Structure 1
């Protein structure tokens, strides 16, 4: 099932669902003909769209609103904070082309601080599916929640079959004692590749899909910290405020510590290009991720705990 198919089915089964867009119909091209007056395009007016969605939510509707992630989270930030977050209204924000998915667009279109700013708003929940299968498994619960929600929309197909979704819970793909990769969204694909490379190098490797970032699965983070020699946080987002920060907050809250290697965009915008070239340029292909982890292992752990291949 695609995102549009899920939204169509949901809207047809629930007349309270309103679909809105700020002239960004890429995900919902067929909805106007199906929903009629329950499809609203406000034009390139993200702030107006959020204000209108708040009014509709106050009247019992469930607006699912669409815009490019950069403009939805930054241009309309104050409206999301004041009209939706403080009021705790069940408006569902669908952020299109977040993070590296904006590939060929310039810095103005790159939403690589969206996790940080959205999770800082009271009552707003934050989600980042790994692919389209993950997305359609997550959205029913997100849309049924009484809280405002921001979802990084990812409609890429990876062929991975995800577990059923539960709000606030991560998906444990594999458990490992040497290194565990915590990731979300687009880079889940590359994490799968990196995991296979590292396993072939003799490491015990874990992988966790941190699909729910607020609320976050604190128990999984603590389990990984206790059971794995190294945590790797992998994300297409600025270092500040993203998954690395979330992990640090959890560890500090529970007065524990761990070795953590963050792999992210370290306060720089990525160079516009097609996605495969962006991944290569930023060092975020599965092979490059694995190489970075192997290098960290070699430089930060005693040879006695490394395989013979590493110590050579």
Structure 2
């Protein structure tokens, strides 16, 4: 891991400008907060639109533009995008398999003091219930940059999660070779398999270091694509590791943990599975570090939970 820090929102905006320079069909639509697009709106004002605080309208306009051959990008706070415009995402975008990129920001605990209304802890569950939408939750800013480029090489609807403005530690030092539907092994160990996504990946790597100091050796996988899930990688790893732990900054119902549990139930029923995440409750206001401790998803809590889980096996 690098000592450098950068926000996922910044990397997304930088990659979008680069892609926009090469593809004149890319257009952006904002629901009041156009700052998430960075310099794109300055460089391409004729391809930048703002419908005001109206997420349903934003998604509907995107659908119309996609039907006209454009490649629309929409973004807002994840909760406002996913919950307010759920019907438009389902009917207009997914129902017509339109090439629209849905970018939900301030996910997990990154909305911090904005509290319950803004903490996006159920958004993956909503999108997973809608057929045909790729779901991506990048681990850091470097992966976000590469994932942003990858989603424009894919022809179809994508939902990608970003965090807030806060700069976060970089896990990857260089541009990541990101591929939709492929997980990535970041650390290898024989005692347990940790599968994480988004901001939880960094915490899991730190937890793995704590566990290693106690002679517990874990494999850590960055599962940035939640749909399609990398079942081949899971199948390979669970052929010799019997204990799997999923970790996410999201409710354990409907998120990464549920996706992995569904796979294990059908394909690997003998594997023991522990889901670490938000346990069927809403978020609250607080600093990101405070909230992660409160919900037991900071690195120390993850390590302790995994240690106790393995002791019971």
TM class, shorter-chain normalised? Answer: over 0.9
Shift of 1:17: 0.2
Matches within 5 A, 1:1-312: 2-154=11-163, 156-161=167-172, 163-254=176-267, 256-298=269-311, 300-301=312-313
Contact 1:131 1:154 in 2 (8 A): no
* Cα-Cα RMSD: 1.5
State the 1:255 CA deviation.
5.1
Per the TM alignment, residue 224 of structure 1 is displaced from its structure 2 partner at its CA by 2.7
Higher relative contact order, structure no. (Cα contacts within 8 Å, ≥ 6 residues apart): 2
- Which one is further off, 100-109 or 55-64? 100-109
Aligned residues: 300
Tell me, yes or no, if the aligned pair for 1:97 and 1:154 is still in contact at 8 Å.
yes
Q: TM-score, normalised by structure 1?
A: 0.92
SS in 2 for 1:182: strand
Q: d(CA) in 1 for partners of 2:222 and 2:192? A: 14
Structure 2 unmatched runs, 5+: 1-9
Cα distance in structure 2, aligned partners of 1:26 and 1:33: 10
Distance (whole Å) between structure 2 residues aligned to residue 145 and residue 98 of structure 1 = 23
Task: Using structure 2 for the length normalisation, give the TM-score.
Answer: 0.92
- Show CA shifts across 1:86-113 (max 9, x none): 1000100110101211211221212211
Partner of 1:310: none
1:21 Cα offset (Å): 0.9
Offset, 1:197: 0.6
Q: Structure 1 residue runs of 4+, over 4 Å off?
A: none
TM-superposed CA distance for 1:253, in Å, is 2.6
